[in-house]
Copies of this chain bind each other. A is one copy, B any other.
């Protein structure tokens, strides 16, 4: 049965990741944005401008759902939606400068909260964690 050591570390990594993001999510309250809007904005900032379909796929929601999330972000001035030059069916959605700033401020709050936790570790532990993160990056690529 599935109880090898690889499966065990998978289960523990899964659980720890959930806990980590649950902790950091508390920092998002002050952003004034809902989780779906914040997450969509984050894709636009870090992965660049997207079509609606691309953004919906990245967020694992259906296009009509994403269309309304984008409505809200446009109204808030955090995102622009313009017709794509070569294909007028499609739409190019991009973060505005204000959107970038707002997202970056939120990300910094999250990273700061995590940094203060990592600061309690011993130096050797931080090194080992860094190595683990490098491997994790490879896993999720």
Contacts and interface: CB of A to CB of B under 8 A. Distances in A.
A31 interface: no
A139 B114 CA distance: 9
A1 to B, nearest CB: 10
Contacts of A2: 108, 112, 115
A60 B121 contact: no
A12 B131 CA distance: 11
A75 interface: no
A112 B7 CA distance: 7
A115 B139 CA distance: 10
B13 A139 contact: no
Interface stretch (A16-24, A48-56, A64-72, A85-93): A16-24
Given A114-B13, A114-B14, A121 B133 contact: no
A106 to B, nearest CB: 11
A125 to B, nearest CB: 5
